[in-house]
Structure 1
């Protein structure tokens, strides 16, 4: 279609009307965001000559996305979560905030209310027959480089089928399996026993994978472990580590891999290591220290408030 009407006064006035900019009620921020999104969408329809058929196929897709509760999965898959991290990195650079463990995306599968343990926690309940024992440990440091006693380390990860408790379609996992909050000890140390997770893929019959197929992209993630780390006087760290050796470590559909977040996974089979950890056989070990950044003018300027499951 060669006709272009986006920049006409009629369309621009209509955009203001549809966004409520000419109305006294409502929320000014919502109006401004809606006006920008509608304007960009109108312009996209015109410039790419989007047909009504294509538009209504898009509406049907959004309905499917909501019905399957996959918006939180599509968001990282399209790089939006990573883009927010890039913006926060840029804000840190502008403020002169440097150092600390790299942040990366939270993902959609956190659950608030995990049991709290002091210093050490057993994450898995032993029910995963294919599980390979993992011992992970490290020290949480403050912005001054000193260990942080009493810091909270929230950790969660998938089982060997790639499923998370509370989101497991098989119903096999009990609540809070492979989820704990660990309070660091007097030396700022945390330690946990669990199993080595595996990666997962988007549901193959879901709308997220359907769109990725259209983009010629896969929908798989490498094995990884999520963390929230908090301590008084510091900004909350949202991060995750990828399991070294996973073939998708640097090909994550959610773009969460960052340098410094792929610690070595070391297999231990010697009797001394097995006995020292109170185990009965070989295990994998990951050592990973984390460093928090200080509040900015007394405020956590990058805290993220979002809807999260609580149990």
Structure 2
């Protein structure tokens, strides 16, 4: 495994020049376009690393997997999916047309920005601070990393430039999808997206999903098998934004990407995968990360199809 990962990183690093780091959030523009790293966490406790795996990056949209777990545990799947759909979209992740004109004007799925903002609004807590702390504690638990924290500079940058997300949120407030204070919901959303992680952290989240909701390193169940199945299914159909169909064909691993350059993968009964590469393609997915996962999937026959 180690030799294979080293070779994959070496062979795919060249793809970074084909993309660009995210710049619509100014702090993300400081990322190293040439960085590429991977961690694989197997369900029998082994971990393998290659490339720039120690580099910290903000979790961004990979956090949508976490908040969906928490929201379903708080409210049950039926209520959550009365507010957010399960259907893929051909539009970009921050599209306004993903909202208006669809059934009951609810977000199409929890993996686009509007859906994730609606999901955050469902998480229990008497204040934005309490909601965020519950999410952060859950993340620390399922990664086994008590040092995880928010990158304050990215958080401030996201909050200062998040006008599109505000438009989405206020539209959902007008249609009754979001209840409560919109700015408080958005503050939690911006903070969660700005949590800093490494490849190992997201690989461990993937391993929990791959192990049907049980943490492989201590056998503690954190979500039900059903919730794990639901989330992995939505990751397959929606996790790579409007590039999800092509990704399913070429890679076939339930995955979730983020514009910070991370990609989380969950191979049921086998492994969790965390990939990092901040150079992005036109869909907002790590361009080298996609090549890494495609090579890994072919090498070990990881596609679910």
Q: TM-score, normalised by structure 2?
A: 0.26
Higher fraction of strand = 1
Q: TM-score, normalised by structure 1?
A: 0.25
Structure with more relative contact order (C-alpha pairs < 8 Å, separation 6 or more): 2
Higher fraction of helix = 2
Structure possessing the higher radius of gyration over alpha carbons: 1
